[in-house]
Amino acid sequence: MPGAGTDKTKNWVIEPGPVVVLVEPQLGENIGAVARAMANFGLSRLRLVKPREPWPNPQAQKMASGADRVLDEAVLYDSVEAAIADCTLVFATTARSHDQAKPVVGAAEAAQLMAPRIAGGESAAILFGRERNGLENEEVALADHIITLPVNPAFASLNLGQAVVIVGYEWFKCAGSGLPFAMPQKSPPASKQQLHAFFATIERQLEKVEFFRPPDKRGTMQVNLRNIFNRMQPTQQDIRTLHGVMTALAEGRKGSARGGVLGSEEAERLRSLLAEYSQGQAPVERPARGLARLLRRNPTDAERMLWDALVKDRRFAALGFKRQTPIGPYIADFVSFPLRAVIVLTPGEESAEAAKTRAERQAYLVERNYRVLNVAAANIVADTAGVLDDILRQLPSADVPSGS
């Protein structure tokens, strides 16, 4: 079974590459680290010039972590001259200038210089010096170019294996080896038609919970919302998943909640129960506010339709209407405190107790100089626009802006 990034079922990369020459390496562990770095980037030719410890070295084998092939094929030499004798292009790696008039290049540029020469059948070598003090002047003098890296000048010394990793990486990248894998394309990009259908769904659900407030910010909020998803560049599967999420949030596990816990019929029964058993009032301010929040969260169809029409009609924009708001012990369906006007939705059928409560509430409001407008819920469903016109006619003309 493949390990972390190591898959022995795949073919070993065998491509011509530069020779790695280690000059008098001191520790077997560092030679093993170099072999591992070489195997990572498809380099196979390792030459050792007078290693300090006996060869083969068990510590090098252990540190190579499976890059045994590189160590098994390593060749020992008595001098740098002998190790590079068959090469036509040589680079010396160093963090110091050595005061020699040689071209200085980075690892990427060195790879670009080597690539055409190696492709043409020539041999190129890269010299790496001792762990303690690097390459000597006379060893650098044998090279055609110097390779150095942009490192912290106050701490420029790299571990031998790290230096080979950087140079090997630039070589492998230059040789045309791209990334080994990419994100799988399991679903094609979403079409604009699919996106527009999703936007329509999410905006419709957000309207039900009165997300687009205040009304004059609605257009900007919709544009911002669409831009969020457009920047994502979603796939078709992404949009199908998001549709499912929206459906689950809107409908819940027990059916359509439509922005609350209760459906429209259940919300109507709640209002009937409140009218019959608690006379539509709360004894203290805090319960009244809590009950108002519950009612706002669970509107009936008629309430939702009228509120949606009110917030979209410019004639009502400055009139300050709110819904399910406490006035004393009662909770008004819709109220404009600036106009001292209350809109009461009357159901098609109601019990005698509920009708009595509604009359008491209306008397309470009239005594406090509120104008009460009774609107049949059935009329809202049948002709919402006509209901709005009728409400405007009953409001003080001086307070109502002209034009729609």
Summarize pLDDT for 304-343 with one digit per residue, the tens.
899 989 988 888 888 889 988 888 878 889 999 989 999 9
* pLDDT tens-digit readout, 43-66: 999 999 999 999 999 999 999 988
pLDDT band at 169 (very low <50, low <70, confident <90, very high): very high
- Which of these ranges, 67-71, 135-139, 298-302, 366-370, has the smallest mean pLDDT? 298-302
- Which of these ranges, 100-114, 188-202, 344-358, has the smallest mean pLDDT? 344-358
Neighbours of 103 (CB within 10 A): 12
SS (H, E, C) the chain: CCCCCCCCCCCCCCCCCCEEEEECCCCHHHHHHHHHHHHHCCCCCEEEECCCCCCCCHHHHHHHCCCHHHHHCCEEECCHHHHCCCCCEEEEECCCCCCCCCCEECHHHHHHHHHHHHHCCCCEEEEECECCCECCHHHHCCCCEEECCCCCCCCCCCCHHHHHHHHHHHHHHHCCCCCCCCCCCCCCECCHHHHHHHHHHHHHHHHHCCCCCCHHHHHHHHHHHHHHHHHHCCEHHHHHHHHHHHHHHHHCCCCCCCCCCCCHHHHHHHHHHHHHHCCCECCCHHHHHHHHHHHHHCCCHHHHHHHHHHHHCHHHCCCCEEEEEEECCEEEEEEECCCCEEEEEECCCCCHHHHHHHHHHHHHHHHCCCEEEEEEHHHHHHCHHHHHHHHHHHCCHHHCCCCC
Q: Which residues make Cβ contacts (< 8 Å) with residue 65, sequence separation at least 6?
A: 32, 36
Q: What confidence score (pLDDT) does residue 404 get?
A: 44
pLDDT band at 280 (very low <50, low <70, confident <90, very high): very low
pLDDT mean over 139-158? 92
Q: Whole-angstrom Cα distance, residue 48 to residue 70?
A: 12
Q: Whole-angstrom Cα distance, residue 226 to residue 211?
A: 15
Q: What confidence score (pLDDT) does residue 61 get?
A: 92
Indicate if the pLDDT at residue 134 is higher than 70.
yes
Q: Whole-angstrom Cα distance, residue 145 to residue 211?
A: 67
- Which of these ranges, 155-159, 179-183, 222-226, has the smallest mean pLDDT? 179-183
pLDDT mean across residues, the chain: 84
Q: What confidence score (pLDDT) does residue 284 get?
A: 43
pLDDT mean over 69-75? 94
Highest-confidence range of 166-180, 220-234, 340-354, by mean pLDDT? 220-234
Q: Determine the angle formed by the axes of helices 192-208 and 218-232, rounding to 10 degrees.
A: 140
Indicate if the pLDDT at residue 121 is higher than 90.
yes
What is the layout of strands, in order, in the sheet containing 104-105? 75-77, 46-49, 19-23, 124-128, 89-93, 145-147, 104-105
Question: Which residues are bridge partners to 48 per DSSP?
Answer: 22, 76
Indicate if the pLDDT at residue 239 is higher than 80.
yes
Query: Residue type at 34?
Result: V
Query: Residue type at 282?
Result: A
Q: Whole-angstrom Cα distance, residue 399 to residue 340?
A: 11
Indicate if the pLDDT at residue 260 is higher than 70.
no
